[in-house]
Amino acid sequence: MIAIDICKTLYGSMGEMELNVDLQINEGEFIALAGESGSGKTTLLRIIAGLEKARGTLKVGDEIWMDAKHALPPQKRKIGFVFQDYALFPNMTVLQNLLFVQKDHALAAQLLEMTGLDELRDRLPATLSGGQKQRVSLCRAMMNRPGILLMDEPLSALDPAMRTKLQQEILTLHKNFGTTTIMVSHDPSEIYRLAGRVVMLDHGRIIQDDTPKKVLLKTSGSQKFSFEGELLDIVQVDIIMVAIVSIGQQLVEVVISPEEAASLHIGERVTLSTKAFAPILSNR
């Protein structure tokens, strides 16, 4: 059980903000931290890791990691941390990066085998691709058999195919090592695939804390097809108005009335919905 009850004043691009988080996490859970940028996700992760100071308390099991009097240094927390920019040691080979944490050759060999990095063990990070680098970073994070694995948008710099592969590897490692995992992510499909619980932050506060299905599926229960998108443009074609909406990676055209057009603003978030009694799902 991890009990987080912390408070910290942040000075960001949007001025002063109070990060105020009260959160209980069970052992072995996989948590996704979501929310807009600047909502305090990374700072929360860094506070748990001991890389940043805060007021309040942090308890992990029976151990107190932080309270009013003292804070356990990051070196003694036995956590794994995966950074968005990999943060590998450029002067060390793949194997040396792993052994830097602990001289456990057997574990290093096992991790490299699991992630298919075996043949790259003697290469320097500069010669690896993004996906390979993040794998090394993931392996390095597992080298001290962490109780808690923290990941800060680990896959956001990778292409979709590589993401899917690495998601599977993250899940395997999470299960095999029995870690409690907290991952910052923006990608709904990634969250849905990996996490058992989503914590949504907004301006430093938790605004939602539930299963991915409840948080992410905005239309659950209703017989409605509904998508969120961004209104890119409104064009007049002959006598009708057409709105162009970007949903996910796709652009959609929708016919709207002049009255509707007047009430919409280009650039705003819109919901596109239709009653769908029997939606058709087919293979591509």
Partner 1 sequence: MSELFAGIELEPFLLSFKLAGVTTLILFVTALPLAWYLSQTRSKLKPFLEAVTALPIVLPPSVLGFYILWALSYNSPVGAFFEETFGIKLVFNFTGLVIASCFYSLPFMVQPMQSGFESLNQNMLDASYVCGRSRWMTLLKVALPNIKPALMTAIIVTFAHTVGEFGVVLMVGGSIPGETKVASVAIYEMVEIMDYRSAHIYSGMMLILSFLVLLGVYIFNRKHNKKLGGFQ
CB of 219 to partner 1, least distance (A): 38
Query: For partner 1, which is the closer residue by CB, 92 or 261?
Result: 92
Chain centre to alpha carbon of residue 110? 26
Name the residues that contact partner 1, by CB under 8 A: 46, 49-51, 73-81, 83, 85-91, 100-102, 124-127, 140, 143-144
Query: For partner 1, which is the closer residue by CB, 71 or 261?
Result: 71
CB of 180 to partner 1, least distance (A): 15
Gap between the Cα atoms of 221 and 134, Å rounded: 38
CB of 140 to partner 1, least distance (A): 7
CB of 211 to partner 1, least distance (A): 29
Q: How many residues does the chain have?
A: 284
Residue 67 has a CB neighbour count (10 Å cut-off) of 14
CB of 156 to partner 1, least distance (A): 14
- The answer to whether the CB of 194 falls within 8 A of the CB of 32 is yes
Query: For partner 1, which is the closer residue by CB, 49 or 191?
Result: 49
> Which strands make up the sheet holding 197-202, listed edge to edge?
79-82, 148-152, 180-184, 30-34, 197-202, 205-210
CB of 4 to partner 1, least distance (A): 18
Gap between the Cα atoms of 100 and 220, Å rounded: 48
CB of 207 to partner 1, least distance (A): 28
- The answer to whether the CB of 65 falls within 8 A of the CB of 58 is yes
Query: For partner 1, which is the closer residue by CB, 97 or 212?
Result: 97
φ, ψ (nearest 5 deg) of residue 7? -150, 135
CB of 225 to partner 1, least distance (A): 42
Query: For partner 1, which is the closer residue by CB, 89 or 225?
Result: 89
Amino acid making up residue 118: D
